[in-house]
Structure 1
Amino acid sequence: MTISVLLADDQEMVRTGFGLILSAEDDVSVLGEAGTGDDAVRLARELRPDVVLMDIRMPGLDGLTATRILAADPAPPRIVVVTTFDLDEYVYGALRSGACGFLLKDAGPRLLVEAVRAAAAGDALVSPSITVRLLERLSEPEPRPATELPGLSARELDVVRAVARGRTNHEIAGDLFVSLSTVKSHLTNIQTKLDARNRVEIAAWAWENQLVK
């Protein structure tokens, strides 16, 4: 299956570079480009890409607002925010707006392609440097007691921690010695209990509650 992608960035050179990287992959196709947040929303609804690579700072609608608008659509695309800026408020804003990934523009071609594939597969990828910094920033001497957690079983907590560390479903299945279908079942139950829309929101909840050390 070919993954269709929309590139949204106000710099033509960035769009061109991303387009060359992604077009070199056999399983990725670039459907179009947008230079503003307004165009990103319009083209995403018109072209129906699988994945949108969304810059944060753009003329008109900013990337976070455009992400929030698209995430509210009945059948939203998977959105990966790609930006020069790694400020904490941008990371949280992107995740809370409905993005399923957050990458810095200097993350490199391999990570860019991996983020697109992960998004299309229903997984999420956050730049490792950002993940580590967030974990350090949110860590405290003692985690919250399990009695304060919203009805998650011990195995579901294992899955939550694995998601927060950026593990894929296949990796989680291998780590916990369970089937892939069991992992997916746990994730469905976890999303229901946490009222989370996707695995990125599960990870954000884990970070906020100091479940990962």
Structure 2
Amino acid sequence: MKSAGDEVSVRKILVVDDHTLVRRGVIRILEQSRDLEVSCDETGQAQEALRLVTGGNYDLVLLDIALPGVNGLDLLKSLHRAAPRLPIIILSMYPEDQYAIRCFTQGAAGYLAKDSAPEDLVAAVRKVLSGGRYVSGGLVEHLAGHLAAGPAHTVISHEDLTDREFVVLRLSGAGKSPAQIAGELFLSVKTVNTYRARVMSKLGLKSNAEVISYAIKHNLST
């Protein structure tokens, strides 16, 4: 507990997640941490998050990558454009070896799985607030293995897809129809079919069943 005479720098954090219990749990963990002094706002909506980031003076955003009705990668890009210097830590239920690299390339300062321990959340926030980037040990191992493959690693995989192609692959793998995907991504059905055709061509898949099978095999269908 800090005394009244101590200089306290309260850091302002925005927690963005559509589940109230998750938001409140994250805030509680941060507020109870002995070495963090934070003031947290929260929202469960993408547009509200953009409004708050544009009008607020936040030190950090904790962002759920899977908000309903919006492509999480697109939201990350929008937040980064609105406040280029504002660090963003991604909170996700998706495997970090599938999403983290894409998030980092779009400006994220950290990536944390939702099943991480509370102390990992505190460590990530502390690291990013101090100006660093948070990368888990598991992701470091994945990157090391990827680099160890060297120049021979030339097989096209989902990691080589564009962000939009990757999202269409994931949603297709979850069993969603082109119409459902179009509605979720605010695209036309024709455009969705074009992206799906590109995915199938790049990955050498010949049917929708193979798309679903590929997504399940690589843990992309959740």
TM-score range, shorter chain: 0.5 to 0.7
Identical columns (%): 30
Report what 1:100 is aligned to.
Answer: 109
Instruction: Please give the per-residue CA displacement for 1:128-176, whole angstroms capped at 9, x wherever unaligned.
Output: 2222123223322689xxxxxxxxxxxxxxxxxxxxxxxxxxxxxxxxx
8 Å contact from structure 2 (residues 97, 142) kept in 1: no
Report what 1:55 is aligned to.
Answer: 64
**Structure 2 gaps, min length 5:** 1-8, 153-222
* Match status 1:7 vs 2:11: no
- The residue correspondences of 1:25-64 to structure 2 (distance < 5 A) are 25=33, 27-64=36-73
Secondary structure in structure 2 of the residue aligned to 1:30: strand
8 Å contact from structure 1 (residues 22, 30) kept in 2: no
8 Å contact from structure 1 (residues 5, 29) kept in 2: yes
Instruction: Please give the per-residue CA displacement for 1:18-63, whole angstroms capped at 9, x wherever unaligned.
Output: 0100111353323311112222222222222100001110023333
Bigger drift between 129-138 and 33-42 goes to 129-138
- The residue correspondences of 1:31-180 to structure 2 (distance < 5 A) are 31-73=40-82, 75-140=84-149
8 Å contact from structure 1 (residues 36, 61) kept in 2: no
Distance change in 2, residues 1:107/1:74 (3 Å): closer
Distance change in 2, residues 1:142/1:69 (3 Å): closer
Q: Which amino acid aligns with 1:108?
A: A
Once residues 29 and 101 of structure 1 are traced to their aligned partners in structure 2, the CA distance between those partners, rounded to angstroms, is 18
Distance change in 2, residues 1:23/1:139 (3 Å): same
How far residue 106 of structure 1 moved from its aligned partner, in angstroms, is 1.5
Once residues 89 and 60 of structure 1 are traced to their aligned partners in structure 2, the CA distance between those partners, rounded to angstroms, is 21
Instruction: Please give the per-residue CA displacement for 1:99-139, whole angstroms capped at 9, x wherever unaligned.
Output: 01111112211111111111111101122222212322332
8 Å contact from structure 1 (residues 9, 54) kept in 2: yes
Distance change in 2, residues 1:70/1:10 (3 Å): same
How far residue 74 of structure 1 moved from its aligned partner, in angstroms, is 5.1
Instruction: Please give the per-residue CA displacement for 1:167-203, whole angstroms capped at 9, x wherever unaligned.
Output: xxxxxxxxxxxxxxxxxxxxxxxxxxxxxxxxxxxxx
TM-score, normalised with respect to structure 2? 0.58
How many equivalent pairs are there?
A: 143
Larger Rg: 2
8 Å contact from structure 1 (residues 56, 83) kept in 2: yes
Report what 2:30 is aligned to.
Answer: 22
Once residues 107 and 136 of structure 2 are traced to their aligned partners in structure 1, the CA distance between those partners, rounded to angstroms, is 17
Once residues 103 and 61 of structure 2 are traced to their aligned partners in structure 1, the CA distance between those partners, rounded to angstroms, is 13
8 Å contact from structure 1 (residues 31, 49) kept in 2: no
